[in-house]
Chains A and B, each alone.
Chain A
Amino acid sequence: MKRLARHPLFWPLGALALLLALNAAFNPGFLALGWRDGHLYGHLVDILNRAAPLMVVSLGMTLVIAVRGLDISVGAVVAIAATVAALLIGGAFNAGGEAASEHPLWLALGAALLVAAGCGLWNGLLVVKAGMQPIVATLVLMVAGRGIAQLLTGGQIITVYYPPFFTIGGGFLAGLPVALWIAAALWGGLHFALSRTALGLFIRAIGGNPEAARVAGVRSGAITLCVYTFCGLAAGIAGLIVSSNVRSADANNAGQLLELDAILAVTLGGTALTGGRFTLAGTVIGALIIQTLTSTIYSIGLPPEVNLVVKAVLVFAVMLLQSADFRALFMAAQR
């Protein structure tokens, strides 16, 4: 039991279980799963589906934080990617009155991801080559990115009518949401890259002591650059999921405050904000905690106005639970 409590995922998992139990208590049907229209159906599936974009963004954020960085532009990159994809697909109809795509779907998606990765690369260059503080470097794109997206759309919400595009954020594969498969694939791919190549060791070395890593011959600059680029790419993927899900691109609101939720998910999962120590699984759990929290607030019938306050209080409680110092204090008080 003691060893269990010391496992890094113990507290995040506990918090998630507690939240789920709370839901189940308020809403007896909460844990029920059904089969409808050829896919799984239920609150849990819903939460997983809605959490997917946050998971994807947070996975990228985890690596950035692990190398002592921060990327607060991910929300803006989500908007940019969504806008690029929506613009390239366009709202055209063919002669039969069916929705068509102006450009091939693969081109639209590829271009959106390329632009997103380019945004990440830009952030990385500012941090690595220009030596800017990560929060300042990414602040540039956080502000400018949304502006660019709005310029591209002319301030309008762009609606997409082309059904194949909706699969990404609304479709199902083997009974589960496609978005969830995307998040899972990204997680699996990252896990493989970190545990089966030297990337994991390098990232932890860079985060733990950048100067020592450099002296040992680790190419810190190149790796950090890749990490930021990947974070941009992940935000782009999330942008596609989000816009596909709502069948439109809203340059103003897509991914709004997502950067903060992502940082929160990473922290809740147990990744150290000081760099070096990180956990992908923890981040996924963190994202689930945040999404479950949002769902909980709606399901137990709290008015939406208190949403943020309740979220803050619960996050505060979870953070306290995760703090070793607080637990020590608590134990001491009990004795």
Chain B
Amino acid sequence: MSDAPIVLQARDISRAFPGVQALADVQLTLRAGEVHALMGQNGAGKSTLIRILTGVHAPDAGSIELLGQSVAPRSPLHAQELGISAVHQESHLLPNLSVAENICAGRYPRLSWMRGGGIDWRETRRRARELLARLGIDLDVDQLAGGLPAALQQLAAVARAVAGDARVLILDEPTSSLDADEVRALFELIRRLRGQGVAILFVTHFLDQVYEICDRITVLRNGRFVGEYPCARLDAPGLVAAMVGRELAGAVEAVTHAAPEGAAAAVLSARNVSRRGQLQPLDVEMRGGEILGVAGLLGSGRTELARLLFALDERDTGDIEIDGRAARLERPADAVRLGLGFCPEDRKHSGIVADLSVRENIALALQARMGLRKFLAPAEQRVLAEKLVAALGISTPGIEAPIGQLSGGNQQKALIARWLATHPRVLILDEPTRGIDIAAKQELMNEIRELANGGTAVLFISAEIEEVARISDRILVLRDRAKAGELPRGAGEDAIYALIARAAS
């Protein structure tokens, strides 16, 4: 395998940002017809390395060779012209254009000047169809991209990336929003491209996917190159150890259950909450000191339930009681006033305010709860933020750094810090561990358990059933936007799967 010709070789790449050395002397070698995993924790430098390869950032030092020629990508477009294409987590198709238009965007075939010199739409469609056929993707090229499911959009985005004869294809967390079947379809495409000699760089948080599809692994840690390994010679525990820099004594150690055995009083009880097309009427009861897990497949109504409880969406029916009293809960501001907190699934879009500092992001919910007149002076905000940054181990150049500069895991922790500052009675966590590496996940789960031990009622939503089973005191299982059942603590993954699958069988 190692005699496959080298396509791209990056040597001694370094890059600093204000306050951080994002990359220091990093090596990366991609070979033709190989899938190469780039692994590392949040903040290890994966994103920065990708941005350098695709010309978003210039390296401070180091060289990049493509097919033996020294290159310096100046922009994503220039990188594409050189033959380096990338597909990112959320595919960047233009939703209002057709698949064909998306695939050929930026390189539309033109009519000859005799025929008016416009874009040759027939040729555009033909090329798109031909490309999709070559890649084995079954897709109507005239469909609007925005109307496609996420998985097909992802496939179309890959097709677009390789349309310009790409030598190197970078896939940055392409599977994080796909379910198992969709991942299989994507992997089929990746294998086909590999067979055509494309060098593929694959970034993911899912270890099993690495071993399913990759040939070789490069590990980064804290912006430094740890090593390059053939997959066969580095097993999963070894890989985790390389990523975190220590032997994780069982990355999946059980979270200690210290929740009270007796039935604590209900802090929040919702009856008959529903919203048309999103959630069938259901009852939820949350108790102080208890973690209520919510399990279900994508589209089962997990996030919808959370949004209704926090009054982010208007509910059609349903009464919510807090501490036994009927609560006026019409908008998020009411929820915050009543002592609820909500970490949304989509951190970037509805969680952080990227331009504001870590301090301001942490103080925001508490200040919103205190209202306009009672002002949390900057000095008090600073004390609060310093305390929480230390308590949660948030790694940041400082509390005045814009939160947008932090890695995903640390942004997530800062969001949890934002709610901790309000001492919430009820905290709703929608996919708090998404896009976070294993070590940070474990830390986060421990924090959540601590929080519950302190008396907070926690609603824990996750797509990873195993996580829900591990942390929850009680599990609410959703299926097809309705309650499928409730399971007590200690119910294994199998019991959850059985509940989810019952309707199907």
Contacts and interface: CB of A to CB of B under 8 A. Distances in A.
Do the two chains bind?
yes
B355 A204 contact: yes
B350 interface: yes
Interface string A186-207: 0000000000111101101100
Contacts of A218: 333, 364, 368
B266 interface: no
B351 A212 contact: yes
Contact of A208 (B310, B333, B353, B375): B353
Given A216-B336, A218-B333, A198 B370 contact: yes
A193 to B, nearest CB: 9
Interface string B9-47: 000000000000000000000000000000000000000
A215 B333 contact: no
Contacts of B335: 217
Contacts of A217: 332-333, 335-337, 365, 368-369
A198 B369 contact: no
A214 interface: yes
Contacts of A214: 312, 331-332, 350
A199 B372 contact: yes
B354 A209 contact: yes
B353 A215 contact: no
A214 B333 CA distance: 7
Contact of B376 (A198, A199, A216): A198
A325 B346 CA distance: 30
A211 interface: yes
A128 interface: no
B66 to A, nearest CB: 24
B364 A201 contact: yes
Contacts of A208: 353-356
B353 A209 contact: yes
A277 interface: yes
A276 interface: yes
Interface in A125-174: none
Given A215-B312, A215-B342, A198 B355 contact: no
A54 B331 CA distance: 38
Given A218-B368, A219-B333, A212 B375 contact: no
B350 A215 contact: yes
Contacts of A264: none
A277 B354 CA distance: 12
A201 B367 contact: yes
B242 interface: no
A202 B375 CA distance: 11
Contacts of B360: 201, 204-205
A204 B331 CA distance: 20
B463 to A, nearest CB: 20
Contact of B353 (A196, A199, A205, A219): A205
Contact of B344 (A198, A199, A215, A276): A215
Contacts of A197: 372-373, 375
Interface string B306-346: 00001010000000000000000001110111000010100
Contacts of A276: 353, 355
Contact of A198 (B331, B342, B372): B372
A276 to B, nearest CB: 5
Given A198-B367, A201-B363, A201-B367, A215 B355 contact: no
B364 A205 contact: yes
A321 interface: no
Nearest to B334: A217
Contact of A213 (B349, B353, B354, B375): B353
A215 B376 contact: no
A205 B356 contact: yes
Contacts of B370: 198
Interface string B363-400: 11101111111111000000000000000000000000
Nearest to A196: B375
Contacts of A209: 349-350, 352-354
A238 to B, nearest CB: 26
Contacts of B205: none
Nearest to B419: A216
Nearest to B352: A212
Interface string A85-109: 0000000000000000000000000
B416 to A, nearest CB: 13
A219 B364 CA distance: 12
B129 interface: no
Contacts of B332: 214-217
A202 B355 contact: no
Contacts of B351: 212, 215
Nearest to B360: A201
A196 B368 CA distance: 15
B353 A212 contact: yes
A128 to B, nearest CB: 13
A217 B340 CA distance: 10
Given A197-B375, A201-B364, A218-B333, 8 more contacts: A202-B368, A204-B360, A208-B353, A208-B355, A209-B352, A209-B353, A212-B350, A212-B351
22 contacts: A196-B375, A198-B371, A201-B360, A201-B363, A204-B353, A204-B355, A204-B356, A205-B356, A208-B355, A209-B352, A209-B354, A212-B350, A214-B332, A216-B332, A216-B365, A216-B368, A217-B335, A217-B336, A217-B369, A218-B368, A276-B355, A277-B355
